[in-house]
Amino acid sequence: MEAGTLSEARAWILDADTLEIHATLQTHRANALAFTPDSSALLVAGRTAGLVRWFDARTGAPLTDLQAHEGLVNGLDFSPDGTRLATVGGDEGDIIVWDTTVGPPYKPVARFHERGFVGSAKWDSSGRRLIGACDTTIRIWDDVPLRERVAMREARATAMSRVRPIVERLYQELLSPELVMKRVRELPDLSALESRAATQVVIDMSLEAASARPDAARSSEVDGVRGAR
């Protein structure tokens, strides 16, 4: 496997034994290449537009595109089990981890931002740690807390989607943040996470309602909501 020249904007898949060209890929300017762990597809990242393109490794046919970054993509690496893809946006200072178990389109599950240029990112053999070359610093992220953060973010989104309609209805009926919070606390089977989500919804609605009021009144109303938590 090797990247084509910038003017040719091609990539080739070579037979490892004979070095004969197995497939020619017509693509954008190739800057980084990676096979999927099962070798069924080849990923090609470009020098511009932040695009990562999937190709069938047997036929060279394009499969799908991933808009990973805004500019230069200078690194690609799959976790050993193939469930996560790390893409490196060097000029942006970003390493983004994508969930490749569902899709395409694929969903980003984590983003690590660094000040300065990011050169590359690689998973270790266990797939639990991700190492990044960040300017003059080498950083290592542990995937166990990463999974926990992803799970917590999904749980918060679920809690918010459940309580928001309830809070909005109560707010329209009662027109009082304090009374809304009192009623929310009386709801049966409300988890602690859902209670926090409800409080955030009430604060957001209070701020929106008070946006045209004097600063003192707006601050007093929001403080009342926080005190009722």
Model pLDDT, residue 228: 53
Cβ contact 37:82 at 8 Å: yes
Beta strand residue intervals within the chain, DSSP E: 2-3, 10-14, 21-26, 30-35, 41-46, 51-56, 62-67, 75-78, 84-89, 94-99, 107-113, 118-123, 129-134, 137-142
Domain boundaries in the chain?
2-135, 150-227
Model pLDDT, residue 50: 86
163/96 Cα distance (integer angstroms): 30
74/50 Cα distance (integer angstroms): 9
Cβ contact 170:183 at 8 Å: yes
Model pLDDT, residue 5: 40
Fold of the domain spanning 2-135: Methylamine Dehydrogenase; Chain H (2.130.10)
Cis peptide bond N-terminal to 62, omega within 30: no
Cβ contact 229:222 at 8 Å: no
Cβ contact 97:78 at 8 Å: no
- Looking at residue 61, the DSSP 8-state letter turns out to be -
Model pLDDT, residue 6: 38
174/221 Cα distance (integer angstroms): 14
Dihedral Cα 171, 177, 180, 185, nearest 10 deg: 150
Length reported for the chain: 229
Model pLDDT, residue 29: 73
Model pLDDT, residue 176: 85
Model pLDDT, residue 229: 54
Q: Return averaged pLDDT per consecutive 10 residues of the chain, 229 residues in all.
A: 47 77 74 87 81 87 89 90 89 87 85 83 90 86 73 87 90 86 85 88 83 56 53
